[in-house]
């Protein structure tokens, strides 16, 4: 017996919901980190958030067995963090140009991209091992 046409649509809808939730997870990490990166000890907390987004990207990719699992939280983190790093017309800035702010914003960007790249390499390595 084959799958029903409705089963394929339900599977696609389920996948879409999972990716949206992973995007929101990354966005929430960016939101929380944007307001908490400067807590004491300032640069260490920012670096903690950098490690967390890296781990999130790698683990989400591993969890759903897809490289898109790393790209979704990375995209959410990047979108929220960069929106919050831009100033308003009144001059308010959430992520400031301090050591902790730079560690959080630039380190988090590198970590999100490295997390996505790491997941791609790990997936390719796993596929090559299965072919042997």
pTM comes to 0.87
Per-residue pLDDT tens digits of the chain, which is 132 residues long: 445 566 788 889 999 999 999 999 999 999 999 999 999 998 899 999 999 999 999 999 999 988 899 999 999 999 999 999 988 888 888 988 899 999 999 999 999 999 999 998 988 888 888 776
Distances from the Cα of 43 to the Cα of 49, 64, 94, 101, 105, angstroms: 10, 32, 16, 8, 12
Please give the Cα distance from 29 to 33 (Å, whole number).
6
- Domain spans in the chain, listed from the N-terminal domain onward: 24-131
């Amino acid at each position: 017996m084959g799958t029903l046409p409705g089963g394929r649509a339900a599977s696609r809808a389920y996948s879409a919901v999972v990716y949206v939730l992973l995007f929101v997870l990354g966005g929430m990490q960016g939101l929380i980190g944007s307001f908490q990166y400067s807590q004491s000890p300032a640069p260490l907390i920012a670096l903690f958030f950098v490690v967390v987004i890296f781990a999130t990207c790698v683990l989400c990719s591993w969890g759903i067995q897809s490289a898109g699992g790393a790209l979704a939280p990375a995209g959410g983190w990047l979108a929220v963090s960069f929106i919050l790093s831009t100033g308003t017309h009144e001059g308010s800035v959430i992520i400031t140009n301090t050591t902790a702010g730079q560690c959080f914003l630039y380190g988090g960007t590198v970590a999100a991209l490295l997390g996505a790249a790491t997941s791609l390499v790990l997936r390719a390595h796993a596929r090559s091992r299965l072919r042997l």
